[in-house]
């Protein structure tokens, strides 16, 4: 997934690789005493294309994720994104230009204090609404492009640097409540940037209804102090492969929402049949400006509507083909974008551990 606003940590590949080596070295020296707790290497590798006005750009991308448990209460995990973007030259110049990007998405340590409290320290994804934390990995999202409002409440970088406390506050058979609260400090480090601010999210989940409702709030505490508000509603009816997910976000200068529905039929031999692997996806989104001042988020500068139509195919062996078309309407311009891609999700032990 390409998130120009969410993962803009500048491409200092050498520094990123140095940090990655350091992370691996730290993990390699740790003691992993439990047979099911071997460090894992996961992530997604994909090849994406994006066509706008007859110009097609190609993006090979890999998003590796490494996670290692250290003892019973500690975990270190990190995700990065490495991509190369090939875009056609304009004018009569033939050929393609290319640019690369390599950067950490997050690098955090998790301390599980008790069943209800986990402390997170380091560079972490901001828990404002849920798209950033849950749907942004390329092997999860149904569309290549994130929603227009994905940048609202994300402090321009999508991650915070500091601490977070989170966990499952109440877990009953009829409902559960979870929470996250973070405090981030200002950092201009190219890999681990952050803005001074705080905020959090509270969600209620009703398992019988398969309904999740949550509210988010955060406040940036540097420059012009601004508040951001968000809410999300997810519904996945029982015994179906239908999902309805939505978010609303409101910032100082603009607001917007998205609603996404996807479905896989089980009527023709189940989800693993040739028909059951087809996944139609639809997303509608709108953004509205609240003033004409320079925005601290990346929302369009005029009111915008967009409809995304997707058709994904879930191949065996954790591979997905993503295709989509969207048309965006705004007073400044209307345009279409076609996107296709193939994504493979991998998940295996980072190195040989003990057999359980």
Partner 1 sequence: MNLKYFCPAILILASVSALTVAAQQSSTPTAAPAKTSATHEQAAQSQDEGQRVFEQQCSRCHTAPNGFSSRISGTVLRHMRVRANLSKHEEEALLRFFNP
Task: Verify binding: residue 123, partner 1, rule CB under 8 A.
Answer: no
Token duo for residue 303 = 């009111």
Q: Indicate the residue among 120 and 152 with the shorter CB distance to partner 1.
A: 120
Q: Indicate the residue among 139 and 155 with the shorter CB distance to partner 1.
A: 139
Task: Verify binding: residue 29, partner 1, rule CB under 8 A.
Answer: no
β-strands 211-220, 117-125: how paired?
A: unpaired
Residue 79 neighbours by CB under 8 Å, 6+ apart = 43, 63, 64, 65, 66, 104, 105, 106, 137
Q: Indicate the residue among 62 and 302 with the shorter CB distance to partner 1.
A: 62
Instruction: By CB under 8 A, name the one of 5, 23, 27, 39 that touches partner 1.
Output: 39
Task: Verify binding: residue 120, partner 1, rule CB under 8 A.
Answer: yes
Binding mask 295-324 for partner 1 (x = CB under 8 A): -------------------x-xxx------
| Rounded Cα distance, 97 and 237, in Å | 46
Task: Verify binding: residue 68, partner 1, rule CB under 8 A.
Answer: yes
Beta bridge partners of 97: 87
Please report how close the Cβ of residue 90 comes to partner 1 at its closest, in angstroms.
Answer: 38
Alpha helices of the chain — where are they, by DSSP H?
13-29
Task: Verify binding: residue 75, partner 1, rule CB under 8 A.
Answer: yes
From residue 269, give the alpha-carbon distance in Å to each of 182, 275, 276, 299, 317: 45, 8, 7, 43, 18
Instruction: By CB under 8 A, name the one of 140, 189, 237, 329 that touches partner 1.
Output: 140
Please report how close the Cβ of residue 272 comes to partner 1 at its closest, in angstroms.
Answer: 10
User: How many amino acids of this chain bind partner 1 (CB under 8 A)?
Assistant: 50
Tell me how far the alpha carbon of residue 113 is from its chain's centroid. Answer: 26
| Rounded Cα distance, 39 and 24, in Å | 10
Task: Verify binding: residue 133, partner 1, rule CB under 8 A.
Answer: yes
Instruction: By CB under 8 A, name the one of 243, 250, 252, 283 that touches partner 1.
Output: 243
Please report how close the Cβ of residue 2 comes to partner 1 at its closest, in angstroms.
Answer: 19
| Rounded Cα distance, 170 and 113, in Å | 16
Task: Verify binding: residue 37, partner 1, rule CB under 8 A.
Answer: yes
Instruction: By CB under 8 A, name the one of 165, 186, 219, 236 that touches partner 1.
Output: 236
Instruction: By CB under 8 A, name the one of 234, 257, 258, 326 that touches partner 1.
Output: 234
Q: In the window 146-185, what residues touch partner 1 (CB under 8 A)?
A: 166-168, 171, 176, 178-180
Give the CA-trace dihedral at 245, 249, 254, 258, to 10 degrees: 0
Please report how close the Cβ of residue 349 comes to partner 1 at its closest, in angstroms.
Answer: 5
Per-state percent for the chain, helix, strand, coil, to nearest 5? 5, 55, 35
Task: Verify binding: residue 276, partner 1, rule CB under 8 A.
Answer: no
| Rounded Cα distance, 219 and 193, in Å | 17
Task: Verify binding: residue 247, partner 1, rule CB under 8 A.
Answer: no
Task: Verify binding: residue 104, partner 1, rule CB under 8 A.
Answer: no
Q: Indicate the residue among 7 and 118 with the shorter CB distance to partner 1.
A: 118
Answer whether 78's CB lies under 8 Å from 350's CB.
no
| Rounded Cα distance, 340 and 315, in Å | 15
| Rounded Cα distance, 263 and 283, in Å | 12
Instruction: By CB under 8 A, name the one of 57, 59, 85, 118 that touches partner 1.
Output: 118
Residue 64 neighbours by CB under 8 Å, 6+ apart = 41, 42, 43, 79, 80, 82
Task: Single out the segment in contact with partner 1 by CB under 8 A; choices: 3-11, 206-214, 282-290, 333-341.
Answer: 206-214
Contact residues toward partner 1 (CB under 8 A) are 34-40, 67-69, 75, 77, 110, 112, 115, 118, 120, 133-135, 139-140, 166-168, 171, 176, 178-180, 203, 205, 207, 210, 212, 234, 236, 243, 314, 316-318, 345, 347-349, 353-356
């Amino acid at each position: 997934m390409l998130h120009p606003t969410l993962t803009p940590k500048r491409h200092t590949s050498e520094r990123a690789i140095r940090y990655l080596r350091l992370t691996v070295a730290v993990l390699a020296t740790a003691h992993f005493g439990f047979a099911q707790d071997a460090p894992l290497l996961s992530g997604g590798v994909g090849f994406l294309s994006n066509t706008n006005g007859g110009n097609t750009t190609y993006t090979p991308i890999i998003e590796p994720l490494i996670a290692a448990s250290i003892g019973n209460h500690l975990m270190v995990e990190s995700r990065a994104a490495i991509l190369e973007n090939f875009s056609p030259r304009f004018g009569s110049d033939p050929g393609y230009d290319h640019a690369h990007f390599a950067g950490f998405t997050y690098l955090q340590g998790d301390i599980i204090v008790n069943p209800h409290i986990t402390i997170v320290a380091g560079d972490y994804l901001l828990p404002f609404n849920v798209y950033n934390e849950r749907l942004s990995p390329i092997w999860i999202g149904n569309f290549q492009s994130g929603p227009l409002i994905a940048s609202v409440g994300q402090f321009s970088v999508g991650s915070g640097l500091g601490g977070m406390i989170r966990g499952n506050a109440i877990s009953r058979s009829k409902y559960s409540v979870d929470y996250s609260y973070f405090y981030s400090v200002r950092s201009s480090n190219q890999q681990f940037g952050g803005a001074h601010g705080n905020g959090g999210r509270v969600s209620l989940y009703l398992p019988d209804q398969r309904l999740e409702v949550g509210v988010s709030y955060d406040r940036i505490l540097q420059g012009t102090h601004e508040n951001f508000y968000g809410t999300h509603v997810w519904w996945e009816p029982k015994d179906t492969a239908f999902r309805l997910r939505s978010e609303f976000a409101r910032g100082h200068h603009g607001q917007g929402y998205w609603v996404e529905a996807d479905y896989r039929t089980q009527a023709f031999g189940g989800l693993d049949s040739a028909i059951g692997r087809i996944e139609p996806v639809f997303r509608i989104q709108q953004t509205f400006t609240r003033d004409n001042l320079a925005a601290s988020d990346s929302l369009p500068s005029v009111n915008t509507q967009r409809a995304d139509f997707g058709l994904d195919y879930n191949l065996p062996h954790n591979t997905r083909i993503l295709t989509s078309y969207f048309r965006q309407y705004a007073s400044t311009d209307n345009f279409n974008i076609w996107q296709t891609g193939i994504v493979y999700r991998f998940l295996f032990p980072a190195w040989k551990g003990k057999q359980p």
